[in-house]
Amino acid sequence: MEKRKIGSLEVSLAGLGCNNFGWRIDAAQTAQVVGAAIDAGVNFFDTADMYSTGQSEEYLGRALGARRKQVLVATKFGLPMDEKRKGAKPAYVRQAVEDSLRRLGTDYIDLYQLHHPDKETPIADTLGALDELVRAGKVREIGCSNFSRDQLLEAAAGVKTGAARFVSVQNNYSLLHREPEPEVLPECVRQGLGFLPFFPLANGLLSGKYRAGQNMPAGSRGADGFGPKLFTDANLAIVEKLIAFAESRGHSMLDLAESWLASQPAVVSVIAGAKTPEQVRTNAAAVSWKLTADELKAIDAIAPRAA
């Protein structure tokens, strides 16, 4: 599988988002999904401490076992675990990383990400604490998530000479949510940051299993009430046009959604979630379609760029 760079890391173009672990699938199912991902050439696993209040990290660590050094593990901190464990103050950064290392069953994290800006803590203070973790060998690279262009600029200005800097940003991005395009993606290109899109399938709406005029599949995120603002008649109409476009070229909606993201500036890995080994294999294969300039232009006419 194609690999791209996040700082010093070479990540697979298809990654695995681990938020289903401990929430929608148990430890045994997690092990099956992780094994299928490795077999399919996926080496990038993205989780967070607050996914299932730590269970996602625990299940991922257990599933990797002796294969830990074969892969790259990304996790996040900062969103509330409870009333006390949250934020990005230096003391909590030091606590949070130790907790994640313990749950993951490892002594280092490949990519450690601030899950959300902390308005109560100067970013320079957080970066200082993260630099300590890099120097101590507990973290290889650092990144951020849910950052605006202005916040990326503030973070870049807060890095001391020779200290660790953010090498990635992870924001919501898909064919139906193109907000990063006017500001964040150009700033990623300017700073050399890798961009990691979360919700690449728009909570499953771009998976191809949701069709206009049909009931939502039982057990799906749409049927469970996730993303109600996404599952609109207008968006379903766009999806129908995208499905027709993909099928006219011998591809699926899923292929289009993931390969389109892989074609965008600064995108380094498409980290879709999965509940079954078959979903993992399908996701891993989906990023291989190399879209032409004319195809990208036609897609923009169906799902317009952000203003």
The pLDDT mean for the chain works out to 95
User: Is 57 a member of any domain?
Assistant: yes
pLDDT confidence of residue 219: 60
User: Is 90 a member of any domain?
Assistant: yes
**pLDDT range class, residue 214, cuts 50, 70, 90:** confident
pLDDT confidence of residue 57: 98
Tally of domains in the chain? 1
Instruction: From the candidates 51, 59, 92, 210, give the one annotated as an active-site residue.
Output: 51
Instruction: Tell me the pLDDT tens digit for each residue of 217-261.
Output: 666 555 555 656 788 889 999 999 999 999 999 999 999 999 999
In this prediction the pTM is 0.94
pLDDT of 45 over the 90 cut: yes
Q: For residue 42, give the CATH number of its domain.
A: 3.20.20.100
User: Is 273 a member of any domain?
Assistant: yes
3-state secondary structure the chain: CCEEEECCEEEECEEEECCCECCCECHHHHHHHHHHHHHCCCCEEECCCCHHHHHHHHHHHHHHHHHHHHCEEEEEECCCCCCCCCCCCHHHHHHHHHHHHHHHCCCCEEEEEECCCCCCCCHHHHHHHHHHHHHCCCEEEEEEECCCHHHHHHHHHCCCCCCCCEEEEEEECECCECCCCCCHHHHHHHHCCEEEEECCCCCCCCCCCCCCCCCCCCCCCCCCCCCCCCCCHHHHHHHHHHHHHHHCCCCCHHHHHHHHHHCCCCECCEEEECCCHHHHHHHHHHCCCCCCHHHHHHHHHHCCCCC
Q: What percent of the chain has pLDDT over 90?
A: 90
108 part of the active site: no
Domain boundaries, position 96: 3-205+254-293
pLDDT of 67 over the 60 cut: yes
User: Is 223 a member of any domain?
Assistant: no
